[in-house]
Structure 1
């Protein structure tokens, strides 16, 4: 049986860098949903991907300015959680606090869905497709 030269130590998926690992560690235990997101990010970072899969992942994570990526979904979640109409936990706050939270949630949504924010991930994805 011969070994495939692709599966060498030099071609192994490296461990998480300190920055990503640190962020994931800090987020541990906040909420079961965040733990699921952490697990997904860790899997995506440590799994072996083809070039085509990598291209798709870059686009799906943050590269679609039409609002069909994970970054846009997170932006909508932030806005939802910051709004008393969609988050009953905020309904007992004074109205000025409710409105301030909602305003900041809407600003986050606006900024996180700005097409310019998605441009670099889109360009990274496009660069891979031209291989």
Structure 2
């Protein structure tokens, strides 16, 4: 018997808050890949999860100590897209612009993989297993 029944009428998953819904809406139509990400985030936000699944999701989104999370993947993608060696669309830019784009992409990767940025999601995930 559980002390916190999950599937009760009073325990429905609420709709998206205005801030999250607004950001998702503003990302509409940029690229099919972004639309898939939006759909995935919407599903994650509105789906019913167990405490164990929530713990796993928090770690997978931004709280992995091993760098196996969505935030790290986004950082790596930003670095890839901003580098002419891995994004041929940038090869037509002047060399100084290519290098500047690459530098900013590398800085974004550094920032998005900073352990401090992942710390709070990791602690949120860890706090769930402590009950």
- Give 5+ residue unaligned stretches, structure 2: none
In the TM superposition, 1:1-131 aligns within 5 A as: 6-8=7-9, 10-131=10-131
Q: Residues of 2 paired with 1:5 and 1:92: CA distance?
A: 55
TM-score (norm 2): 0.94
Cα RMSD for the two superposed structures: 1.2
| Deviation at residue 107 of structure 1 after TM alignment | 0.1
SS in 1 for 2:24: helix
Q: Residues of 1 paired with 2:100 and 2:21: CA distance?
A: 33
Aligned length: 127
Compared CA separation, residues 5 and 112, structure 1 to 2 (3 A): closer
Q: Residues of 1 paired with 2:45 and 2:6: CA distance?
A: 22
Q: Residues of 2 paired with 1:88 and 1:65: CA distance?
A: 32
SS in 1 for 2:66: coil
Compared CA separation, residues 5 and 126, structure 1 to 2 (3 A): closer
| Deviation at residue 82 of structure 1 after TM alignment | 0.3
* 1:55-107: CA deviation from partner (whole Å, max 9, x where unpaired): 00000000013211110000000000000000000000000100000000000
